[in-house]
Amino acid sequence: MVNLDAFGRREVVMAHDGGLRLRMQRVLRAPRSVVFRALTEPQKLAKWWGPDGFTIPSVESDLRPGGGYRIAMQPPEGDLFYLVGEFLEVDPPERLSYTFRWEDPDPEDRETVVALSLRDIGETSAELVFTQGDFATERRRALHDEGWTQGLNKLEELMSSAASA
Protein backbone atom coordinates (compact mmCIF):
# COMPACT_ATOMS: atom_id res chain seq x y z
CA MET A 1 0.00 0.00 0.00
CA VAL A 2 1.30 3.48 -0.92
CA ASN A 3 -0.02 6.62 0.69
CA LEU A 4 0.49 10.08 -0.79
CA ASP A 5 1.04 13.11 1.41
CA ALA A 6 -0.42 16.55 0.72
CA PHE A 7 2.32 17.24 -1.83
CA GLY A 8 1.77 14.02 -3.78
CA ARG A 9 4.98 12.42 -2.46
CA ARG A 10 5.06 8.85 -1.28
CA GLU A 11 5.02 8.49 2.45
CA VAL A 12 6.66 5.77 4.46
CA VAL A 13 5.00 2.42 3.81
CA MET A 14 5.24 -0.24 6.49
CA ALA A 15 4.29 -3.88 6.20
CA HIS A 16 4.02 -6.47 8.90
CA ASP A 17 4.17 -9.88 7.22
CA GLY A 18 4.37 -12.61 9.81
CA GLY A 19 7.71 -11.81 11.43
CA LEU A 20 8.37 -8.58 13.23
CA ARG A 21 9.76 -6.68 10.27
CA LEU A 22 9.85 -3.11 9.16
CA ARG A 23 9.40 -1.99 5.55
CA MET A 24 9.62 1.56 4.27
CA GLN A 25 9.56 3.07 0.82
CA ARG A 26 10.59 6.55 -0.26
CA VAL A 27 11.00 8.44 -3.51
CA LEU A 28 14.05 10.68 -3.24
CA ARG A 29 14.91 13.60 -5.50
CA ALA A 30 18.30 12.31 -6.64
CA PRO A 31 19.60 9.57 -8.95
CA ARG A 32 20.22 6.27 -7.20
CA SER A 33 24.02 6.68 -7.53
CA VAL A 34 23.81 9.86 -5.42
CA VAL A 35 21.48 8.19 -2.90
CA PHE A 36 23.77 5.14 -2.67
CA ARG A 37 26.69 7.42 -1.77
CA ALA A 38 24.55 9.08 0.92
CA LEU A 39 23.82 5.62 2.33
CA THR A 40 27.45 4.48 2.35
CA GLU A 41 29.96 7.35 2.52
CA PRO A 42 30.73 8.14 6.19
CA GLN A 43 30.64 11.96 5.87
CA LYS A 44 27.34 11.87 3.98
CA LEU A 45 25.81 9.22 6.26
CA ALA A 46 26.58 11.31 9.35
CA LYS A 47 24.44 14.17 7.96
CA TRP A 48 21.17 12.22 8.04
CA TRP A 49 21.59 9.10 10.18
CA GLY A 50 19.52 8.59 13.29
CA PRO A 51 16.53 10.08 15.03
CA ASP A 52 15.96 13.81 15.30
CA GLY A 53 18.37 15.52 17.66
CA PHE A 54 21.03 12.80 17.46
CA THR A 55 24.52 13.55 16.19
CA ILE A 56 26.93 11.08 14.62
CA PRO A 57 30.46 11.84 15.91
CA SER A 58 32.11 9.07 13.90
CA VAL A 59 31.46 6.44 11.24
CA GLU A 60 33.97 3.66 10.55
CA SER A 61 33.25 1.59 7.46
CA ASP A 62 34.89 -1.14 5.39
CA LEU A 63 32.35 -1.14 2.54
CA ARG A 64 32.63 -4.65 1.08
CA PRO A 65 30.89 -7.97 1.70
CA GLY A 66 32.33 -9.25 4.96
CA GLY A 67 33.56 -5.78 5.93
CA GLY A 68 32.37 -4.16 9.11
CA TYR A 69 31.06 -0.81 10.24
CA ARG A 70 30.70 1.04 13.53
CA ILE A 71 28.59 4.17 13.97
CA ALA A 72 28.84 6.35 17.09
CA MET A 73 25.46 7.86 18.01
CA GLN A 74 25.05 10.71 20.49
CA PRO A 75 21.51 11.37 21.74
CA PRO A 76 20.58 14.94 22.75
CA GLU A 77 20.76 13.81 26.38
CA GLY A 78 22.52 10.68 27.47
CA ASP A 79 25.62 8.66 26.78
CA LEU A 80 27.25 7.97 23.44
CA PHE A 81 26.47 4.48 22.12
CA TYR A 82 27.44 2.40 19.10
CA LEU A 83 25.79 0.51 16.28
CA VAL A 84 27.89 -2.21 14.63
CA GLY A 85 27.50 -4.79 11.92
CA GLU A 86 28.83 -6.52 8.85
CA PHE A 87 28.09 -5.79 5.21
CA LEU A 88 26.39 -8.75 3.55
CA GLU A 89 25.79 -7.32 0.06
CA VAL A 90 27.32 -4.26 -1.58
CA ASP A 91 26.11 -3.79 -5.16
CA PRO A 92 26.34 -0.08 -6.08
CA PRO A 93 24.10 1.64 -6.90
CA GLU A 94 21.32 -0.96 -6.57
CA ARG A 95 21.56 -2.88 -3.30
CA LEU A 96 23.06 -2.76 0.13
CA SER A 97 22.47 -5.12 3.05
CA TYR A 98 24.08 -5.46 6.43
CA THR A 99 23.63 -6.83 9.91
CA PHE A 100 22.53 -4.34 12.56
CA ARG A 101 23.25 -4.73 16.26
CA TRP A 102 23.85 -2.46 19.21
CA GLU A 103 26.99 -2.71 21.29
CA ASP A 104 25.68 -3.41 24.78
CA PRO A 105 22.19 -4.28 23.49
CA ASP A 106 18.95 -3.95 25.40
CA PRO A 107 17.74 -7.39 26.58
CA GLU A 108 14.93 -7.16 23.97
CA ASP A 109 17.38 -6.55 21.11
CA ARG A 110 18.69 -9.08 18.67
CA GLU A 111 20.79 -8.74 15.55
CA THR A 112 18.65 -7.83 12.55
CA VAL A 113 19.34 -7.49 8.84
CA VAL A 114 18.81 -4.25 6.95
CA ALA A 115 18.31 -4.43 3.17
CA LEU A 116 18.11 -1.39 0.92
CA SER A 117 17.34 -1.41 -2.78
CA LEU A 118 17.36 1.53 -5.16
CA ARG A 119 15.65 2.01 -8.51
CA ASP A 120 15.98 5.06 -10.75
CA ILE A 121 12.75 6.86 -11.56
CA GLY A 122 13.62 8.97 -14.57
CA GLU A 123 16.89 10.88 -14.44
CA THR A 124 16.32 12.88 -11.26
CA SER A 125 14.70 10.59 -8.69
CA ALA A 126 15.17 7.19 -7.09
CA GLU A 127 12.90 4.86 -5.20
CA LEU A 128 14.40 3.52 -1.98
CA VAL A 129 12.93 0.37 -0.45
CA PHE A 130 14.13 -0.41 3.07
CA THR A 131 13.49 -3.53 5.15
CA GLN A 132 14.73 -4.58 8.57
CA GLY A 133 13.97 -7.59 10.71
CA ASP A 134 13.20 -9.78 12.45
CA PHE A 135 12.80 -7.96 15.75
CA ALA A 136 12.44 -9.74 19.08
CA THR A 137 9.51 -7.59 20.25
CA GLU A 138 6.95 -5.19 18.84
CA ARG A 139 8.34 -2.51 21.17
CA ARG A 140 11.79 -2.73 19.53
CA ARG A 141 10.25 -2.74 16.04
CA ALA A 142 8.29 0.42 16.92
CA LEU A 143 11.46 2.10 18.25
CA HIS A 144 13.25 1.37 14.97
CA ASP A 145 10.21 2.53 13.00
CA GLU A 146 10.42 5.92 14.70
CA GLY A 147 14.21 6.22 14.29
CA TRP A 148 14.25 5.18 10.63
CA THR A 149 11.28 7.42 9.80
CA GLN A 150 13.07 10.44 11.25
CA GLY A 151 16.40 9.50 9.63
CA LEU A 152 14.83 8.92 6.22
CA ASN A 153 13.02 12.26 6.53
CA LYS A 154 16.45 13.88 6.96
CA LEU A 155 17.82 11.90 3.99
CA GLU A 156 14.88 13.07 1.89
CA GLU A 157 15.58 16.69 2.86
CA LEU A 158 19.28 16.25 2.09
CA MET A 159 18.56 14.81 -1.36
CA SER A 160 15.99 17.55 -2.11
CA SER A 161 18.37 20.33 -1.10
CA ALA A 162 21.17 18.78 -3.19
CA ALA A 163 18.79 18.60 -6.18
CA SER A 164 17.90 22.27 -5.89
CA ALA A 165 21.51 23.43 -5.42
Torsion angle in degrees (nearest 10) through CA of 116, 84, 50, 163: -50
Domains with residue ranges and CATH for the chain: 21-49+90-164 (3.30.530.20)
Mean pLDDT of 113-124: 96
pLDDT for the residue numbered 106: 86
In this prediction, residue 64 has a pLDDT band, given cuts at 50, 70 and 90, of: very high
Taking alpha carbons only, the member of 52, 37, 35, 54 closest to residue 159 is 35
pLDDT for the residue numbered 96: 98
Mean pLDDT of 44-57: 97
pLDDT for the residue numbered 21: 97
Instruction: Cite the DSSP H helix spans in the chain.
Output: 32-40, 42-48, 138-164
What average pLDDT does the chain have? Answer: 90
Is there a contact between 146 and 20 (Cβ–Cβ < 8 Å)? no
